[in-house]
């Protein structure tokens, strides 16, 4: 059966919701921005009058004002955005029970079996677009294809309030001339590396030897090759589907640049306590700890990881491992740090027996875990700051971060159900 996959993207979503609340902003240049005093003062989204005057997502507040004098700056109201996101998805569910969110404003809709043919799928997405505008006052751009990657590309091709159809027999003429940076998961760094090898379009990528891509980028190279050739067969998650959790992590832009080991230690403990709490919520231990960081010039120094002597969900053990990774890889402090992240990987169930070494104190480990559980219960009831480590009191500005409360769960990746990548007579399943 031919797959019929749509990707719907609400146009200028945060700004559109604000314009519904205040119609006077509809014709005026306006941007939804975070608060500068907390260093989240960037443009989250802007309406089209502001975009036409050079305002872009990710700009600092002051840059937006410089590009567009007189622009209206509106603080974000996430409760409203979540509410309207629910309204939009309720409408999508009238057409299919397989809706996979990709953030608040985007979602894949699997119309396979719900529409009798691809042409009927075209009629359905046009109807969805018109109903969202008529019933909710928002506009959406929708792409329709036989796979998730091309559907998302389609939703990006025409904005606002448009539908782009990419039939399976015409994707080469529609998709391949596009810049390689338009492809899902081709970020700025990957794009620069591809262009450095004269791979400038998606068609260039599709025609590149996959063995070379694997050598340059590892497994990701094979994924990008599959995407460019329309070989994505990952599923759209049905209603109620939850992908298996493979890691638990948290990252945070710091209230100020981190300049000392103590600064880093405070942030690591704040993040590790969030990670440990969520590991406990999931009933799992982490076998591996990862640490990554950006300096104050936003250079990514990559991810470092270490295997734990025994799987753990204790925030102190996670933090100590992350801090050791930091000291080993950045102890000479070439630049202050702007953002750091901690992640627990290699998850195993708490019901599984753990292998201890002869140096481990079994009863002591159990007591530490019980103490952590009590702290977790207190924080869940009275807030994450009801009890803190002494080091947190050495800098109230940095320790003011509430990593657990502020944490955002990011959308499930595109690989639900796996994806087969074929070349040279071999098939690899990407999970």
Beta-carbon neighbour count of residue 414 at 10 Å?
Answer: 21
Which strand (E) or helix (H) includes residue 18? Answer: helix 13-21
**What is the DSSP-derived secondary structure letter of residue 414?**
T
As a dihedral over the C-alpha atoms of residue 316, residue 321, residue 322, residue 328, rounded to 10 degrees, the angle is 140
- Distance between CA atoms of residues 268 and 266, nearest Å: 5
Query: In angstroms, rounded to a whole number, what is the distance separating the alpha carbons of residues 299 and 322?
Result: 19
Give the residues across from 247 on adjacent strands.
345
| Contacts of 207 by beta carbon, 8 Å cutoff, 6+ apart | none
For residue 14, the number of C-alpha atoms closer than 13 Å in the C-beta half-sphere is 18
- Rounded to 5 degrees, what are φ and ψ at 129? -60, -45
DSSP code for 63: H
CB 279 within 8 A of CB 248: yes
Q: Which of 32, 35, 36, 54 is nearest to 44 (CA)?
A: 32
Tokens found for residue 344: 């627990």
> What is the C-alpha to C-alpha distance for residues 237 and 76, in angstroms, rounded to an integer?
29
Q: Got the DSSP string for 170-217? A: THHHHHTTSBGGGSTT--HHHHHHHHHTT--BHHHHHTS-HHHHHHHH
Q: Kindly give the pairing relationship between strand 30-33 and strand 43-46.
A: antiparallel
* Residue 9 contacts residue 156 (beta carbons within 8 Å): yes
Catalytic residue, candidates 18, 100, 106, 317: 106
Is position 2 annotated as part of the catalytic site?
no
CA 218 – CA 220 distance, rounded (Å): 5
Q: How far apart are CA 425 and CA 431, in angstroms?
A: 20
Active site (catalytic) residues: 106
């Amino acid at each position: 059966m031919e797959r019929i996959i749509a990707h719907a993207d609400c146009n200028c979503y945060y700004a559109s919701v604000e314009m519904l609340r205040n119609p006077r902003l509809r014709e005026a240049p306006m941007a939804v921005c975070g608060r500068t005093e907390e260093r989240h003062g960037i443009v989250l989204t802007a309406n089209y009058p502001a975009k036409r005057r050079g305002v872009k997502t990710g700009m600092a507040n002051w840059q937006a004002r410089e590009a567009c004098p007189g622009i209206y700056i509106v603080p974000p109201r996430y409760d409203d955005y979540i509410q309207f996101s629910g309204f939009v998805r309720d409408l999508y569910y009238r057409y299919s029970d397989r809706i996979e969110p990709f953030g608040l404003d985007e979602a894949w809709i699997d119309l396979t079996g719900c529409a009798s043919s691809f042409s009927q799928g075209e009629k359905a997405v046009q109807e969805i677009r018109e109903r969202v505008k008529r019933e909710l006052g928002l506009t959406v751009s929708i792409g329709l294809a036989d796979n998730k990657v091309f559907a998302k590309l389609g939703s990006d091709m025409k904005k606002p309030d448009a539908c782009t159809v990419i039939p399976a027999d015409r994707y080469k003429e529609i998709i391949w001339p596009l810049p390689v940076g338009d492809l899902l998961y081709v970020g700025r760094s990957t794009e620069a590396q591809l262009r450095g090898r004269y791979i400038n379009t998606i068609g260039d990528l599709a025609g590149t030897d996959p063995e070379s891509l694997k050598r340059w980028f590892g497994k990701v190279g094979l994924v990008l090759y599959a995407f460019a050739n329309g070989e994505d067969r990952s599923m759209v998650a049905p209603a109620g589907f939850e992908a298996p959790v493979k890691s638990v992590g948290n990252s945070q832009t710091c209230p100020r640049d981190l300049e000392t080991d103590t600064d880093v230690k405070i942030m690591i403990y704040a993040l590790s306590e969030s990670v440990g709490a969520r590991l406990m919520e999931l009933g799992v231990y982490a076998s591996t700890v990862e640490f990554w960081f950006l300096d104050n010039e936003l250079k990514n120094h990559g991810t470092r990881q270490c295997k734990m002597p025994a799987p753990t969900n204790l925030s102190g053990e996670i933090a100590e491992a992350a801090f050791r990774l930091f000291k080993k890889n950045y102890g000479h402090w070439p630049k202050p740090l702007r953002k750091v992240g901690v992640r627990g990987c290699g998850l195993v169930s708490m019901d599984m027996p753990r292998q201890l070494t002869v140096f481990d104190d079994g009863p002591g480990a159990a007591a530490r875990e019980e103490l952590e559980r009590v702290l977790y219960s207190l924080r869940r009831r009275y807030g994450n700051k009801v009890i803190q480590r002494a080091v947190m009191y050495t800098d109230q500005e940095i320790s003011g971060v509430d990593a657990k409360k502020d944490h955002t769960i990011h959308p499930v990746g595109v690989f639900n159900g796996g994806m087969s990548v074929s070349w040279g007579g071999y098939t690899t399943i990407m999970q």
